A and B are shown apart, each in its own frame.
Chain A
Amino acid sequence: MSAMIPDNEADMTDAAKSPVPLLEVRDLTIQVATASGGKTVLDGISFSLMPNEVLCLAGESGSGKSLTAMAIMGLLPKPAARITAGQILLAGRDLVDLSETEYRKLRATRVAMIFQEPMTSLNPVMTIGEQITEVLVAHQDISAAEASKAALELLTEVRMSSPERRLKQYPHELSGGMRQRVVIAIALACQPDVLIADEPTTALDVTVQAEILDLIAKLQERAGTAVIMITHDMGVVAEIADRVIVMRAGKQMETSPVRQLFANPSTQYTRELLAAVPRLGSVAASLEAHELANTATVVEVNDLSVRFPVRGGLLNRVQQNVHAVEKVSFSINAGETLALVGESGSGKSTIGKALMSLLPFDGEIRINGRATRGLSRRSLQVVRRDVQMIFQDPYASLDPRMMVGDQVAEPLIVHGLASGTELSDRVAWLFKRVGLPLDAMRRHPHEFSGGQRQRVCIARALALNPKLIVADECVSALDVSVQAQVLELLRELQEDEGLSYLFISHDMAVVEQVSDRVAVLYAGQVVETGPASAVLGNPRHAYTQRLLSAVPIPDPEHQRVPFVRSTEDIVSVMHAVGTAPEQQLLQNHGRNHWSAREAG
């Protein structure tokens, strides 16, 4: 910690009133070079960071949050982006015109950073041990043996399981959450005064997110490090922040203590932002009871299993199977939404792909009463019209070289359903239906925002007039305000067209908002299923309870209890050929609410 901070400066909220800020950003302005000259992307941002404080930079994509962080770290992509005005004062010293050599000495020792993507932010060809020790060796007068001892201590401190073994492992051998712990260990190695965390949990499962947030909070408390947390998630803001800066399009909209921000936002934008945040438990049970009992069954799935063979040996024979989905059964009625929830690797997306007949499966899938297994390509094509898919990443799921109108028309052409003016009329109708202007048809994907692209994807999915849409994390990549609009569009389409949705998501609050029923998946099996209000409001299975307890609450007055992972949470889905995992037997709790019997 910096020497000028008095020892008794412990109370974090009071720290904000301290006259000596650790870091002060004054009127920071950044321009990026474009073909038509410099464009201002960060416009006069000012804030101060007190010792011990957690300051959140919140805002939607393109608001300039990450740019601010990179500017403080001296890592702006030069010469494309440059600071045109303002100061960054670290303990009174201006960093803006610092030489690269001088800056290098500050990084990791005074200011350190954690990045968003744990999967890619570690060097794949270096051991974890070396990636931690190199930062110690670079900044401290320390021997190799001392450095690896210190690395071991750091890994223990970030609560990594079997830390000695991890030192010798490579990043690809660790899960996302474990990698993020390594990144945190690296960032904390030289005990920096300021830790910048750029969306550190966005790419992680909600349970892992809870663990990482708890970890950062605990370490911050212990070492007294000041934290700048960058996030788009108001739940995370409410949980961790002392003060919040709301940013939008490079401008600072509002700076308030966290409780004040949530209780009494001073700008219209913040109010809108907070209003768009889905909140778990906010949907009244009466709203959700929309009567569907008498509608026809669109999809029926019985004992669906999907296995991926793992080959090996001299003759490349199957030695083990990954049981991605194990004996899953459910049905979806017309106009109904079934949500599949669970952590990554639980089999959610695999079920979606099986419904589309995109991979081989065992068991039975009936779409509109017709079994899809073993159908010829030609008959399958007819069945596929009834099931369409929307993917998570609207950037990746559109062809960048094709006009979006053509991409929406493509399914109609492939299935030979329309041509000539009928085709263009139908495409125009689809664009209108999803709320896009007609002139958008002749544009390319890069000319649209994320939300508009997802609308194009929805239009494409609607082209064949399907009965069921498999929406695989279709709003996860979108900002909350855009997310709310897309969800509203999906709801409208359901009402008007009687569409059914299989809604795959990791976001419990969104699931509560859109779904009629929920199925909780764990290691490829359903452990709990029933009406959304029952499963989310009164979870019976311990796993569902843990999953829900991990969700951050977007209200600083109501903090969730610290998340505790159970050792049972880690179960392998790899099984030797001929063996299968024990099947979870479901018991009824009434009103169609079922959960797996638990051991003991």
Chain B
Amino acid sequence: MSIHLLRRILESLLILLGISIVTFLLLYLLPADPARQIAGRSATVQTVENIREQLGLNLPLYQQYWHYLSNLLQGDLGRSYLQKTEVSELIAARLPATLLLMAGAIVCELVIGLALGVISALWRNSRTDRVLTVVSFTSVSAPQFVIGILLLYVFAVKLHWAPIGGYGTFAHLVLPALTLGILGAGWYARMMRSSMIDVLEKDYVRTARSKGLSRSRILFRHVIPNAILPIIAMIGIDIGMFMSGIVVVESVFSWPGIGQLAWQAIQRVDIPIIMGVTLVSACAIVIGNLLADLVAPLVDPRIRVR
């Protein structure tokens, strides 16, 4: 087990290194010039050149990357061009809010998605199933900013059940978490439905019925634990999906997380922040997948490593 874990961690580090190279290259190829952005439109060529030299932007690409990497290995993500603060401090200040939002979203998508999937499968081809199919496809295909604004309009503006935006209480969390989680909920509802239908036909469910067990025992002990297995592997991938979603959701709900930070940095070509947020997101995705890998053997004894 520990050898398996060590191997997975080594693989993850290689992935992160690759991501840092690709992101660095992409940002370098951007047509925007960060030095000009910092200096302002009216600055002279000399000022821009000075800023460029200050930030080391005139060095060859590989040297720039090497500097970045060697700093990174010491835990230094660089300084923001515009906010003049350490990127690591900026991210650290905002990460808890984002993690809270993601946790809320995971709870939303699992609770809603799994419940809808189970209901659809148990009453397969009924009217309820057809309505839920439409609902889940809608939630999968609707853009998040539309869902976010819709929820805000209905529950905050009209019904006054939730605050319009901001951060602090549980009430603040509900709408953004729902907006972020609803896409995944739609997916999970579909996946859980087909997985449940598959499991309901299995021989061991027939065995369970022949034992004279109660419906609820069969459902919660025999069907759902088996039907949920393919979903668990998906949760790791989901964290990646969230990363693109949080930029939108945090902007719509003024949620002070790293998505908002990234959005502001992208608008101002604040490369150290963009790099930092990208790496943190990549870390989150890698850790998410690692966790999914570690949790899977706990729920499925067949894949326990000897």
- Interface residues in chain A, defined as those with a beta carbon under 8 Å from any beta carbon in chain B: 73, 75, 103-109, 112-113, 115, 117, 120-126, 134-135, 138-139, 170, 172, 183, 186, 312-314, 316
Contact B207 A139, beta carbon cutoff 8 Å: no
- Within 8 Å of chain A (Cβ to Cβ): is B75? no
In Å, the complex CA distance between A126 and B213 comes to 15
Judge whether A104 and B213 touch: CB under 8 Å: yes
A122–B203 Cα distance when bound, in Å, is: 7
Q: Which residues of A contact B217 (CB under 8 A)?
A: 134, 138
| Chain B residue contacts of A115, Cβ below 8 A | 203, 206-207, 210
B226 at interface (Cβ–Cβ under 8 A)?
A: yes
A sample of 23 inter-chain contacts (CB < 8 A) reads: A75-B209, A104-B213, A107-B212, A108-B210, A115-B207, A117-B203, A121-B204, A123-B208, A123-B226, A124-B301, A125-B225, A125-B226, A126-B221, A134-B211, A134-B213, A134-B217, A135-B211, A170-B302, A186-B211, A312-B3, A313-B3, A314-B3, A314-B7
B301 and A104: CB pair below 8 A? no
Q: Which of B6, B7, B210 has the most CB of A within 10 A?
A: B210
**Chain B 191-223 interface 0/1 with A at a Cβ cutoff of 8 Å (1 = within):** 000000000001110111111111001000110
| Contact A138-B206, Cβ < 8 Å, known A123-B226, A125-B226, A170-B301 | no
Interface check B89, CB cutoff 8 A: no
The answer to whether A186 touches B207 (Cβ under 8 A) is: yes
Residues of chain A within 8 A (CB-CB) of B226 are: 123-125
Return A318 CB to nearest CB of chain B, in Å: 15
Q: Residues of A contacting B300 with CB < 8 Å?
A: 124-125
Encoded as 1 (CB less than 8 Å from any A CB) or 0, chain B from 1 to 26 comes to: 00100110000000000000000000
B302 touching A124, Cβ below 8 Å: yes
Q: Contact: B213 with A121, CB < 8 Å?
A: no
Instruction: Give the size range of B's interface with the partner.
Output: 20 to 34
Question: Which residues of chain A are near B203, meaning CB under 8 Å?
Answer: 115, 117, 120-121
Tell me, in angstroms, the Cα distance from A123 to B226 when the chains sit together.
8
Per the bound structure, the CA–CA distance linking A113 and B210 in Å amounts to 7
For chain B residues 111-138, which have a beta carbon within 8 Å of chain A?
none
Contact present for B7 and A112 (CB under 8 Å): no
A134 touches B212 (CB 8 A): no
Supplied contacts A107-B212, A186-B211, 6 more A-B pairs, CB within 8 Å = A104-B212, A104-B213, A125-B229, A126-B222, A135-B211, A314-B6
Shortest B14–chain A CB gap in Å is 14
Residue contact A122 to B204, C-beta cutoff 8 Å: yes
Scan residues 279-304 of chain B and give those whose CB is less than 8 A from a CB of chain A.
Answer: 299-302
B214 touches A138 (CB 8 A): yes
Q: How far is the CA of A417 from the CA of B283 in the complex (A)?
A: 57
A104, B204: Cβ atoms under 8 Å? no
The CA-CA distance from A313 to B207 in the complex, in Å, is: 38
Query: A109: which of B6, B204, B208, B212 is its contact (CB, 8 Å)?
Result: B212
Q: Contact: B3 with A120, CB < 8 Å?
A: no
Q: How far is the CA of A73 from the CA of B299 in the complex (A)?
A: 31
A121 touches B212 (CB 8 A): no
Q: Produce 1/0 per residue, B168-210, CB < 8 A to A.
A: 0000000000000000000000000000000000111011111
Given A120-B203, A313-B3, A125 and B211 contact (CB-CB distance below 8 Å): no
**Chain A positions within 8 Å of B209 at CB level:** 75, 107
Most buried by A among B204, B217, B226, B306: B204
A139 cross-chain contacts in B, Cβ below 8 A: 212
Q: Which residues of B contact A121 (CB under 8 A)?
A: 203-204, 206-207
Cβ-closest 5 pairs across A and B: A107-B212, A120-B203, A170-B301, A123-B204, A121-B203
Partner of A138, one of B202, B212, B222, B225: B212
Q: CA–CA, A126 to B223, complex, Å?
A: 11
Shortest Cβ distance from B10 into A: residue:
A314
Q: Which residue of B lies closest to A116 (CB)?
A: B203
Question: Which residues of chain B come closer than 8 Å to A103, judged between CB atoms?
Answer: 212
Q: Which residue of B lies closest to A124 (CB)?
A: B302
Among candidates A107, A314, A316, residue contacting B211 with C-beta atoms closer than 8 Å: A107
**Residue of A whose beta carbon sits closest to that of B305:** A312
Residue of A with least CB distance to B201: A77
Q: Which of A75, A124, A316 contacts B206 (CB 8 A)?
A: A75
Name the residue on A nearest B202 (C-beta).
A120
CB distance from B109 to the nearest CB of A (A): 22
CB A182 to nearest CB in B, in angstroms, measures 10
A79 to B182, CA, bound (A): 35
Q: Decide yes or no: A112 and B301 within 8 Å by CB, A120-B204, A314-B3 being known contacts.
A: no
In chain B, residues 220-235, which have Cβ atoms closer than 8 Å to a Cβ of chain A? 221-222, 225-226, 229
